[in-house]
Copies of this chain bind each other. A is one copy, B any other.
């Protein structure tokens, strides 16, 4: 049997076989092995953080990652942004009838490897199969449970004029990697997605936890959407310095060709941190110690204002960096 059948989703023999021959081989732990309706976790002391995301990226495999790796990183990074250490994941697949088993196994293997890298345990799962043409290969939901670090107190109410805006690395890599793969563009220097689990970044900045006011991983809508959400909820303006924004030359070139702005492109391995000004340089230095934070830098500053985001251009001008609207980049994550 080389392809997913409708019967793999019927709760019978085929479904049980898929569980045993594929999922249980990659996700080995006591909770999953019980095959119960719900996983029973050990008691956890402290406050939990919970987040959920569905992933529908197209194509399923792209330079630097695939939907399996993305489904882990996206949820791990959301927990990290909330100041929590990721502990557990649930994983739910919606499969299209006819999906090649080899593709499914590659996705599952990649998901499992990313979970191991991130130190999270997959404790519960589900698989549904829909008839051909009612999904596109595979969609994945991951829900993450993490342990909130009590030393991190994050929120827009902590963000005020003078604070520094830090980006942990280059902007737009994931967006360009997926779009160019999808459209079949080939650039001299191929662009690779930045898809990576960022929970390790928390460790390197732990000495500065008291100075960190807010974090968010800038995925859909990019850095621009993330900063607009922050500006609105904090009731302050944010100024971004174009000259300070790290962008790979190949991403810059591809963006210009496609008429896109790296500030609006999705990232899957970057964190925006808003930090008290006095600690900003030290936080950047700490981030740069980590392989995923090597290009961290201060890209902007919070200013008094009514909730707008401004771009100070390399030429010295200033223009509004609005919330994206009507520029749909479907299935980017």
Contacts and interface: CB of A to CB of B under 8 A. Distances in A.
The CB with the most chain B CB atoms within 10 A, among A6, A124, A129, A229, is that of A124
A17 to B, nearest CB: 9
A146 B38 contact: yes
A102 interface: no
Given A10-B221, A220-B10, A53 B126 contact: yes
A35 B92 contact: no
A26 interface: no
Interface stretch (A136-144, A201-209, A283-291): A136-144
A12 B225 contact: yes
A11 B49 contact: no
B133 A7 contact: no
B131 A134 contact: no
Contacts of A146: 38
Contacts of A221: 10-12, 15
Interface in A134-159: 134-136, 139, 141, 143-146, 148, 154-155
For the complex of A and B, list the 4 residue pairs with the smallest distance between their C-beta atoms, beginning with the closest: A11-B220, A11-B221, A12-B324, A38-B82
Interface of A: 5-7, 9-16, 34-56, 77-79, 81-82, 84, 88, 90-94, 97, 123-126, 128-131, 133-136, 139, 141, 143-146, 148, 154-155, 216-217, 219-222, 225, 229, 233, 266, 323-331
26 contacts: A7-B326, A7-B327, A11-B222, A12-B225, A12-B323, A13-B324, A36-B81, A37-B77, A37-B217, A38-B146, A39-B50, A41-B50, A43-B48, A44-B48, A48-B48, A50-B123, A52-B125, A52-B143, A54-B92, A55-B128, A56-B128, A90-B143, A94-B139, A128-B331, A134-B136, A135-B135
